[in-house]
Amino acid sequence: MTETTDSDSETTSRSTRRRFLGQLALGGAAGAALLASGVLSSPLPAVAATLRESETGVELTPTVRSNGINVVLVHGVWADATSYSGVIPLLLEEGYTVYAPQLPLTTHLADDVTAALGVIQQAKGPTVLVGHSYGGVIITNAGAGLSNVIGLVYCNAFAPDMGEVLGQYSPGPGLANVFPVTYPNNFGTFLFFNQQKFRESFCADVERRKASIMATVQKPANVNILSDPTTAVAWKSIPSWYLIGGKDQLLPPSVQQFFASRMKATTVTVPESSHASIVSHPHKVFELIQAAAKQNDD
């Protein structure tokens, strides 16, 4: 029996990674340089491709040709970008290039806008911005002045005007289940949701097991976001679409209708939808994004 040494294993591992990089069209020399520099310690994942085994090894097969349009999905409070996990596959299957930034929610509105802009600026070409709940504030501020943004899609979302703040709008009854927690070392005060009341208030039309997971991984926000004013308004110059959740317990449907009417948005009401429409009705959200992306098609 031949004994395998650590050196042999390392040599084999490096050889495997070089072959994988070559299949990704990075080239042998470029791949070796990346490995030698320590930038790569494991094979790169194949983005927008499927892996299949064949007699000659692993082949990379592109799934869908890009349609040339970008979609940036922005989440709200008590959620993160994975709340779009039902929407993302639908977009990818149609050839959209999709980005879903994670907002920090730890300081001020301006920092969340900056976090979104850091991702939005990567989107070259026509781009649709989508915002859920507080994410609507982000796309309202971040989308202003960007010539490549062709549409805004709001889902149960805030759509403030210049100088307006979140705290000025009438809340739904579900907000009674939110409580503040002051963090140590002067880090700030954050808004948490009572886990036992999360489903009935936030996502009543989401399956219980999934709702329990959402409650467990909720992402609280700094109370500063309630009083930070909007400093730019994208919907005044960019076509907008709005999905109203008819059974929203956090952002009253009447307030959502006010936002949609004020910005003259193309509006769809989903009567049975909770606040979490992007989770419970991903196809409806997808249809609005499609409408925004194809608005100029014949």
Per-residue pLDDT in tens (0 to 9) along the chain, 298 residues: 444 444 444 444 444 444 433 443 333 344 344 334 444 443 433 333 333 333 344 433 445 789 999 999 999 999 999 999 999 999 999 999 999 999 999 999 999 999 999 999 999 999 999 999 999 999 999 999 999 999 999 999 999 999 999 999 999 999 999 999 999 999 999 999 999 999 999 999 999 999 999 999 999 999 999 999 999 999 999 999 999 999 999 999 999 999 999 999 999 999 999 999 999 999 999 999 999 999 877 5
* Axis crossing angle, helix 109-120 with helix 135-142, rounded to the nearest 10: 70
If we measure between CA atoms, which residue out of 286, 283, 215, 247 comes closest to residue 207? 215
What is the reported pLDDT for 269? 98
Structural domains of the chain in order of their starting residue, each with its CATH number: 6-62 (no CATH), 70-293 (3.40.50.1820)
Radius of gyration of the chain measured on its C-alpha atoms: 22
Query: Which amino acid, 157?
Result: A
What is the reported pLDDT for 34? 35
Distance of alpha carbon 160 from alpha carbon 145, whole angstroms: 16
- Measured between alpha carbons, how far is residue 285 from residues 53, 130, 255, 298 in Å? 35, 9, 19, 22
Tell me if 99 sits within 8 A of 128, measured CB to CB.
Answer: no
> Tokens for 80?
């993160």
> Exposed/middle/buried for 168, CB within 10 Å: 0-12, 13-18, 19+?
exposed
Q: How many Cα atoms sit within 13 Å of 162 on the Cβ side?
A: 5
What is the reported pLDDT for 119? 96
Distance of alpha carbon 285 from alpha carbon 280, whole angstroms: 10
Distance of alpha carbon 114 from alpha carbon 103, whole angstroms: 9
What is the reported pLDDT for 44? 35
Q: What share of the chain is helix, strand, coil (3-state, %, to 5)?
A: 40, 20, 40
